[in-house]
Amino acid sequence: MILRVLTVLFLGAAIGAAISDVVSRSGMASLGEVWFAIHSGSLNLSQAITQRYLSPEIWDPYAIWVLGQPATVFFGLLALLCFLGAWLRARKA
């Protein structure tokens, strides 16, 4: 059930990001740009927490790479993974 809800949420986010890309006509916005536009404080907080309590090496090569990916593709892939997980669980039952 939770995977179905996540699928719908991530699919909605992907569609919203795609519509925003079309309306703005400035190309595909990265995940970091979208996050910064929505709530820059939480982006800065997640960087500080990751670097201080986990490891600075996690933020610099990996998190920066993820934040540089197009938001539409990122949310679309998350929706696909959740959909496949829900489908496999339903198939098992």
CA gap 66, 93 in Å, rounded: 34
The residue segments making up the domain with residue 55 are 31-69
For residue 93, name the pLDDT band (cuts at 50, 70, 90): confident
Closest CA to 22 of 81, 80, 67, 71: 71
**Domain shared by 22 and 52, yes or no:** no
Query: pLDDT tens digits for 19-74?
Result: 998 998 888 899 999 999 999 999 999 999 999 999 999 999 999 999 999 999 99
CA gap 60, 47 in Å, rounded: 9
Closest CA to 76 of 24, 8, 3, 29: 8
**Domain shared by 37 and 23, yes or no:** no
pLDDT at residue 52, as a whole number: 96
CA gap 40, 43 in Å, rounded: 5
Bridge partners (DSSP) of residue 5 are: none
Number of domains in the chain: 2
**Domain shared by 35 and 64, yes or no:** yes
**Domain shared by 7 and 17, yes or no:** yes
CA gap 29, 78 in Å, rounded: 17
